[in-house]
Structure 1
Amino acid sequence: MGRKRVTVTTETDTGRNTRFHDNVTGADMSRAQFVREIERGAYENYHVREINGVKTPCSDPDKSKNNNLG
């Protein structure tokens, strides 16, 4: 199993992921930055959902729990 492409580095007390790290490029991103990058097609295997009115990055579902954001 390879390493996760993106890991969550900060989340709120309620569990909303707010900061992310790209383990390949070394980039640190806010939630809004990561959403923009996903929407422009820079991250395969990730999509954006609107949760409680907030665009939220999500990993695409598959059989593995090892590559989920979190």
Structure 2
Amino acid sequence: MARKRVSVTSESDTGRNQRFHDNYNGNDMTRSQFVKQIESGNYPNYHVRDINGVKTPVSNPDSSTNNNLN
């Protein structure tokens, strides 16, 4: 099985994903940095949702569990 592109490395007390790690290039990102990268088209398997007024990265719905954020 292929390794996941992005892993969550930190969550808030409410469970919101806060920090992310790109397992392919080794970059660590905050939520806002990851959002900007997604919006720039650098992560095509992810998109941004507005959840309670906060831009939040989420994986695109598909049959693969390999790109899920958890």
**Structure 1 spans left out of the alignment, 5+ residues:** none
Higher relative CO (Cα under 8 Å, sequence separation at least 6) belongs to: 2
Give the letter for the 2:20 counterpart: F
Identity rate, percent:
70
TM-score, length of structure 1 as denominator length: 0.94
TM-score, length of structure 2 as denominator length: 0.94
Query: Residues of 1 paired with 2:32 and 2:23: CA distance?
Result: 18
After superposition, residues 1-70 of structure 1 pair within 5 angstroms as: 1-70=1-70
Aligned-CA RMSD value? 0.9
Count how many residue pairs are aligned between Structure 1 and Structure 2: 70
Query: Residues of 1 paired with 2:67 and 2:22: CA distance?
Result: 13
Secondary structure, aligned partner of 1:63: coil
How far the C-alpha of 1:63 sits from its partner, in A, is: 1.4
Query: Residues of 1 paired with 2:22 and 2:67: CA distance?
Result: 13
**Structure 2 spans left out of the alignment, 5+ residues:** none
